[in-house]
């Protein structure tokens, strides 16, 4: 009791002592209530700990034996490709662990410029600029490019990074219904009074596995004098005949003005993002894009890995061509079993379940059967549209896919998701 009295007396002597403690206690109460609400809604997100390299087969902490991984963005299986790893080690040895600087001070090495030039060639654009992530690329684009005289028109289901990037800019904002070209046209008509009009869409939507109708979007953009921006994070490297993305897949590479994408998925899976497009735009971003100006340069090892991944992709499209058959095998078998799979022909295969708790429990039971998948629920997806998002990789075998389907059928019946 004496110690407590001394402590309280010290707090009274300290300016604002009790008030500070009271404010902290209030904060803790607010946070605990919010966290308990997340738990109660069944949307709590736990992080499973992987103790091996990323790949189709992984080791998971506290679970014996190998686990089949069906939820990584490792579309081409390059995250642990020996040549990609070796390129990273070589860059680490030659150029060091990092630059300790942003790009414009003393943070630009020859490998950064070489990778930017390679990205521009890959996408057949003028120039490219690297960012720490594509989230940074998206938050750095709109504020630097658009003014209060301009307008941005965005699909309602665009990625959170696009939404956040648009919020930062002062342009007039229009949101059109998902993939609804009639609504986009109406919004374009309404936006004719603005200086620039930028139509903004994901190429492939990461939660639903559907693909933007870029031919129609580009046609409307041309009719109404608009520019087209596409986020290609879930398309670069594996959609289109040579993996250039949805603009190649749909034959509109010459009509899309700006592309943002990532090095952290198909292209090695480490980190990093980029913008590629007209030369003057890239030059403006180097002068005004805040995430670029105020973030450290990409580490040399990441640059080396991504550069090698692009080399492998440009040398051969064999890996790209293997994706379609494997994706179709999974989708057809799951639909035959009675599951609803969102999207079409994309390696993202969302198994639609509706209930958040059901998705979480089924994912846990899949892990017990040696299959690593994750349940997605609000706020990542809309309420009532919880799902388990399965992602097919070029390095999954047909046997891997069949085993995954068999586990889904067993778990689905256990939880009443299948008859």
Q: Please tell me the distance from the alpha carbon of residue 122 to that of residue 117, in angstroms, as a whole number.
A: 9
Contact at 8 Å (CB) between 358 and 57? no
pLDDT in tens, 330-374: 999 999 999 999 998 899 999 999 999 999 999 999 999 999 999
Domain span holding position 269: 82-315
| HSE toward the beta carbon, residue 9, CA cutoff 13 A | 6
- Position 387 confidence tier, pLDDT thresholds 50, 70, 90: very high
Average pLDDT over residues 85-97: 98
pLDDT in tens, 208-244: 899 999 999 999 999 999 999 999 999 999 999 999 9
Mean of per-residue pLDDT scores for the chain: 94
| Domain total in the chain | 2
* Position 183 pLDDT exceeds 90: yes
Q: 308 and 330, same structural domain?
A: no
Q: Which two tokens stand for residue 388?
A: 């388990």
Q: Name the more confident of 21 and 398.
A: 398
Q: 225 and 161, same structural domain?
A: yes
Q: For residue 192, tell me if it sits in a domain.
A: yes
Closest CA to 148 of 173, 170, 168, 174: 170
DSSP structural state of residue 269: S
Residue 165 is predicted with a pLDDT of 98
Q: Measured between alpha carbons, how far is residue 366 from residues 67, 236, 258, 377 in Å?
A: 10, 29, 40, 17
Rg (CA), the chain: 24
Percentage, residues of the chain above pLDDT 70: 95
| Residue where one domain finishes, among candidates 265, 285, 315 | 315
Q: For residue 196, tell me if it sits in a domain.
A: yes
Q: Measured between alpha carbons, how far is residue 317 from residues 79, 235, 240, 266 in Å?
A: 17, 14, 10, 13
* Position 4 pLDDT exceeds 90: no
- Position 2 confidence tier, pLDDT thresholds 50, 70, 90: low
Task: Mean pLDDT check: name the lowest of 4-8, 80-84, 107-111, 205-209.
Answer: 4-8
Q: 53 and 129, same structural domain?
A: no
Alpha helices (runs of H) in 338-417, residue ranges in sequence order: 356-368, 398-414
Contact at 8 Å (CB) between 385 and 209? no
Contact at 8 Å (CB) between 277 and 284? no
| Residue where one domain finishes, among candidates 315, 331, 359 | 315
Quickly count: other Cβ atoms within 10 Å of residue 107's Cβ. Answer: 16
Q: 336 and 206, same structural domain?
A: no
Q: 391 and 249, same structural domain?
A: no
DSSP result, 278-347: -HHHHHHHHHH-HHHHTSBPPPHHHHHHHHHHHHHHHH--HHHHHHHHHHHHHHHHHHHHT--B-SSSSS
Residue 192 CB burial class (10 angstroms; 0-12, 13-18, ≥19): exposed
| Residue where one domain finishes, among candidates 315, 333, 362 | 315
Contact at 8 Å (CB) between 35 and 23? no
- Position 5 confidence tier, pLDDT thresholds 50, 70, 90: low
Residue identified by tokens 């998206």 is 138
Q: 235 and 335, same structural domain?
A: no
Residue identified by tokens 């959609």 is 239
Q: For residue 18, tell me if it sits in a domain.
A: no
Q: Please tell me the distance from the alpha carbon of residue 281 to that of residue 275, in angstroms, as a whole number.
A: 9
Q: 128 and 214, same structural domain?
A: yes
Residue 321 is predicted with a pLDDT of 80
How many helices (H) and strands (E) in the chain? Answer: 16, 13
Residue 347 belongs to a domain with what CATH number? Answer: 3.90.1150.10
Count Cβ neighbours within 10 Å for each residue of 203-232 and write b for 16 or more, e otherwise.
bbbbbbbbbbbbeebbebbeebebbbbbbb
Q: Which two tokens stand for residue 53?
A: 């390299």
Residue 6 CB burial class (10 angstroms; 0-12, 13-18, ≥19): exposed
Residue 398 is predicted with a pLDDT of 96
Task: Mean pLDDT check: name the lowest of 2-6, 62-66, 132-136.
Answer: 2-6
Task: Mean pLDDT check: name the lowest of 37-51, 97-111, 238-252, 264-278.
Answer: 37-51
pLDDT in tens, 148-179: 999 999 999 999 999 999 999 999 999 999 99
Residue 237 belongs to a domain with what CATH number? Answer: 3.40.640.10
Q: For residue 27, tell me if it sits in a domain.
A: no
- Output the CA torsion sign for 372, 375, 380, 386: positive
Task: Mean pLDDT check: name the lowest of 37-46, 82-91, 230-239, 285-294.
Answer: 37-46
> Residues near 129 by Cβ (< 8 Å), separated by ≥ 6?
116, 137, 274, 275, 276, 282, 285, 286, 289, 292
Q: Please tell me the distance from the alpha carbon of residue 239 to that of residue 248, in angstroms, as a whole number.
A: 8
Residue 351 is predicted with a pLDDT of 97
pLDDT in tens, 243-255: 999 999 999 999 9
Q: 232 and 116, same structural domain?
A: yes
Q: Can you state the percent helix, strand and coil of the chain, rounding each to 5?
A: 45, 15, 40
Q: Please tell me the distance from the alpha carbon of residue 191 to that of residue 183, in angstroms, as a whole number.
A: 12
Q: For residue 24, tell me if it sits in a domain.
A: no
- Position 14 confidence tier, pLDDT thresholds 50, 70, 90: low
Q: 300 and 194, same structural domain?
A: yes
Q: 332 and 305, same structural domain?
A: no
Residues annotated as catalytic are 206, 234, 265
Residue identified by tokens 């590479």 is 253
Q: Which two tokens stand for residue 200?
A: 């903004």
- Position 400 confidence tier, pLDDT thresholds 50, 70, 90: very high
* Position 109 pLDDT exceeds 60: yes
Q: Which two tokens stand for residue 45?
A: 């997100």
């Amino acid at each position: 009791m004496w110690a407590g009295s001394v402590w309280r007396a010290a707090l009274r002597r300290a300016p604002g002592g009790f008030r500070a403690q009271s404010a902290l206690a209030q904060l803790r109460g607010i946070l605990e209530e919010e966290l308990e609400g997340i738990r109660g809604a069944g949307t709590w997100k736990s992080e499973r700990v992987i103790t091996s390299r990323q790949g189709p087969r992984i080791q998971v902490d506290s679970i014996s034996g190998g686990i089949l991984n069906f939820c990584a963005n490792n579309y081409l299986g390059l995250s642990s490709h020996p040549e990609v790893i070796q390129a990273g080690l070589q860059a680490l040895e030659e150029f060091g662990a990092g630059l300790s600087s942003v790009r414009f001070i003393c943070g630009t090495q020859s490998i950064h410029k070489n990778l930017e030039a390679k990205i521009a060639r890959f996408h057949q654009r003028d120039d490219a600029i690297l960012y720490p992530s594509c989230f940074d690329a998206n938050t750095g684009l709109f504020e630097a490019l658009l003014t209060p005289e301009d307008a941005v028109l965005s699909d309602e289901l665009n990625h959170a990074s696009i939404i956040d990037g648009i919020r930062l800019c002062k342009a007039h904002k229009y949101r059109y219904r998902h993939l609804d070209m009639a609504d986009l046209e109406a919004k374009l008509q309404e936006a004719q009074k603005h200086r620039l009009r930028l139509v903004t869409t994901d190429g492939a939507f990461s939660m639903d596995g559907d693909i933007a109708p870029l031919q129609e979007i580009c046609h409307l953009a041309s009719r109404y004098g608009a520019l087209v921006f596409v986020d290609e994070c879930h398309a670069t490297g594996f959609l289109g005949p040579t993996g250039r993305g949805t603009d190649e897949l749909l034959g509109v590479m010459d009509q899309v003005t700006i592309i943002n994408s990532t090095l952290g998925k198909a292209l090695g899976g480490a980190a990093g993002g980029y913008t590629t497009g007209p030369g003057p735009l890239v030059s403006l971003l180097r002068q005004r894009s805040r995430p670029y100006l105020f973030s450290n340069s990409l580490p040399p090892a990441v640059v080396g890995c991504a550069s090698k991944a692009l080399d492998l992709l440009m040398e051969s499209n064999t890996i790209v061509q293997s994706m379609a058959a494997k994706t179709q095998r999974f989708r057809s078998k799951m639909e035959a079993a009675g599951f609803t799979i969102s999207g079409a022909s994309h390696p993202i295969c969302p198994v639609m379940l509706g209930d958040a708790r059901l998705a979480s429990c089924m994912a846990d039971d899949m892990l017990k059967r040696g299959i690593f998948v994750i349940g997605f629920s609000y706020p990542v997806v809309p309420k009532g549209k919880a799902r388990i998002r399965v992602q097919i990789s070029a390095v999954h075998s047909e046997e891997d896919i069949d085993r995954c389907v068999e586990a889904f059928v067993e778990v689905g019946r256990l939880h009443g998701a299948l008859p």
